[in-house]
Amino acid sequence: MEWYHVGAGLLLLLVLFIGIGLSIPFALAAASLPFLFYIQGWSTALVSSELKLWGVWIDYVLLAVPLFVFLGELIGRSSIGPNLYAFMHRGVRVRGSAAYGSIAACAGFGAVCGSSMVGSLTIGGVALPEMQKLGYDNRLSSGVLAAGGTLSVLIPPSLILLFYGIVTDTSIGELFIAGIVPGLVLVLLFCGVVYVWGRVRPSHIPSVDRSQRSSLRQMLVSVGPIFAIGLVITLSIYTGIATPTEAAAVAALLTVILAFGVGGLDLAGFKAALFATMRTMGYLGLLLSAGVLFGFVMTYYRVPQQFTELFMSYQLGPWLVLAIVIVFYLVLGMFLEPVSMTFITLPTIFPLMQAAGFDLVWFGIVYTITMEIAVLTPPVGLNLYVIQGVSRGTIAIGEVITGCLPFIASMCALIALLIAVPEVATWLPQAMK
């Protein structure tokens, strides 16, 4: 069987199974199994599947995923996240302080949690009602919070960067370091969007907030936990003291202590965080396992390698190759969520980028930004529906989409900046070697 028959067959079966309503993990597995049986026979294929599925669940590196998810759930169910937003907003004598505070709070939350959806849900659940009460336009407030949640995907630790590192066998520590400067640049771009929006549509942003400033104790309670958790993750990974998995374990333990100690978490909230983590990992675990089977079949038939050779035979310039890949992900992101895209497409795409001469750490940051855009583009933009759900029907999905457009434009501007000045992503990892 030729590689292009296998590639086309996998794609057609995957589309068919998704079209009839199978979830992505089961669709991936179902598309892979006929080719696996053809390779190994029925009995051997079953044993091989069991071994590969089990191998995913006991992978040491992947242990970081449930730990970071659990950490985010704890922060979201305690008062640590809401306190962070209140500190960023309260008593700041700047017009648009609630919008700027939301971006800053999402950035701070992103420094301890790698999930975009959890970031939007945690900060948005507190900030959106406050912004509506203060008189912010629905499009601005929903756009700020939906886009702000994506900062959790770029600012380390990031689950997408973690999965990217696993699939491409790239240093996760280097990827995390490379995401810092682009993440800070994106925060500034988001703030720039709010500033320009206020200048163009002054009625969309209320006058300066005159609420009481936070006391020193409130500042410590609000910022201290996030700072401590972020410091543990950052220093332990970047100084080489701990692996990402060990850093996630220590940070999760510290978060439990802080959530109970200063975050007001009770046993019911702790139990809810555990169950929410198990539900999330139930899906992610199945997706990872199915992705391994899918990848094994493609690798056995050398689909990624042959596709790369075919693509490069057209002698396209590296920048044209990059442009095609970015457009491909922007379109695909309208229909698939980032984790599924990572395990379905990346095994084929990253050898192509490597052959085109691009640094995989640099491409990992560009790839992650396209995944941020994916959660903001309909019809399958997860953050759009999170914010629309948080509004409890007071904001239409069309308003959320419209509000996100300027922020999507700023992400595209960041991609352009990374292409023009690759050192924005590569300088810090190289400086720390």
- What pLDDT, on a 0 to 100 scale, did the predictor assign at position 207? 75
For the chain, the domain total comes to: 1
337 φψ region: left (φ > 0), alpha (ψ -120 to 50), beta (else): beta
> Residue 43 class from Cβ within 10 Å (0-12 exposed, 13-18 middle, 19+ buried)?
exposed
Cα-to-chain-centroid distance, residue 148: 11
Low-confidence residues in the chain, pLDDT < 50 = none
Closest Cα to residue 383, out of 368, 363, 403, 366? 403
Pairwise CA distance, residues 325 & 227, whole Å:
37
How far is it, in rounded angstroms, from Cα 122 to Cα 134?
19
Quick: pLDDT tens for 419-433: 999 999 999 888 876
Q: Tokens 């399958």 appear where?
A: 380
Calpha distance 51→384 (Å, rounded): 38
Radius of gyration of the chain (CA): 22
Q: Which domain holds residue 334?
A: 3-431
Q: What is the model's pLDDT at position 90?
A: 64
Helix spans in 78-115 (H):
80-89, 97-110
What one-character-per-residue DSSP string does 267-310 give? HHHHHHHHHHHHHHHHHHHHHHHHHHHHHHHHHHTTHHHHHHHH
- The interaxial angle of helices 97-110 and 80-89, nearest 10 deg, is 140
Instruction: Name residue 160's amino acid.
Output: I
Structure letter (DSSP) for residue 78? S
pTM for this model (two decimals): 0.84
- DSSP track, 368-433: HHHHHHHTTSSSS-HHHHHHHHHTTTSS-HHHHHHHHHHHHHHHHHHHHHHHH-THHHHHHHHHT-
Of residues 115, 198, 199, 192, the one with CA closest to residue 152? 115
Output the pLDDT for position 241.
84
State the pLDDT at residue 426.
92
pLDDT 10s digits, 244-286: 888 889 989 999 999 998 888 899 999 998 998 888 888 777 8
Predicted local distance difference test score (pLDDT) of residue 92: 60
Residue 402's closest CA among 141, 150, 228?
141
